Amino acid sequence: QKEVEQNSGPLSVPEGAIASLNCTYSDRGSQSFFWYRQYSGKSPELIMSIYSNGDKEDGRFTAQLNKASQYVSLLIRDSQPSDSATYLCAVFLTGGGNKLTFGTGTQLKVEL
Amino acid sequence: EPEVTQTPSHQVTQMGQEVILRCVPISNHLYFYWYRQILGQKVEFLVSFYNNEISEKSEIFDDQFSVERPDGSNFTLKIRSTKLEDSAMYFCASSEGEGKGYTFGSGTRLTVV
């Protein structure tokens, strides 16, 4: 059973549009959720964290969490070509110790 | 902004040789990690380290792997006898506490030939 699942993409959106990235996780008891951005050949960069149900906004980014549905998403408003990257969902799974478990990532392409 | 520093950025080694990857975590962070990412695959957990000892390790982290914090700043990953399948990007990360997000270093690309 996959623990953190993401659609690998690529997800293509036009410049200026809203990109919606989704992630599901297997463990209902999980409490901490993170989105990382990874450019090709580079390391993951933390862009959002969310711990409570609902929405959390930071600039053009909004993270959404629904623990009952075991679902976390990332919205990117006014998408720019520089947003083109792979977006990794990461979760502290209950019983998984103090380690982040990553999904496979969704590749986002923002087209001019 | 504080950062995690990794050296070298790229290492090429012959199969069977030992390699040591080095990391300097953020100074006030207490938890340290090594992850790896084989080209085109997901970021995989190797080991976590807290209070000068391993707190958890994955199945990948077998007897060929070891970690050490030789002084107050460095955190190293040693692979004793490298195999071709050890070729990957190795990322060091640190966090300030349980349940907190990790800050990753820029990585070491290890190529075993």
Q: How many residues does chain A have?
A: 112
CB contacts, 8 Å: A93 with chain B = none
The percent of residues above 90 in pLDDT, for chain B, comes to: 89
In contact, A67 and A28? CB cutoff 8 Å: yes
CB contacts, 8 Å: A45 with chain B = 104
In contact, B4 and B103? CB cutoff 8 Å: yes
Interface membership of A95 toward B (CB under 8 Å): no
Question: Which DSSP string corresponds to A34-75?
Answer: EEEEE-TTS--EEEEEE-SSEEEEETTEEEEEETTTTEEEEE
Closest among A7, A5, A48, A25 to A95, alpha carbons compared = A25
Identify the pLDDT of residue A46: 97
Identify the pLDDT of residue A27: 87
The span from the CA of A36 to the CA of A6, in Å, is 13
Q: Tell me the pLDDT tens digit for each residue of A77-111.
A: 999 999 999 999 999 987 666 789 999 999 999 99
In contact, B88 and B39? CB cutoff 8 Å: yes
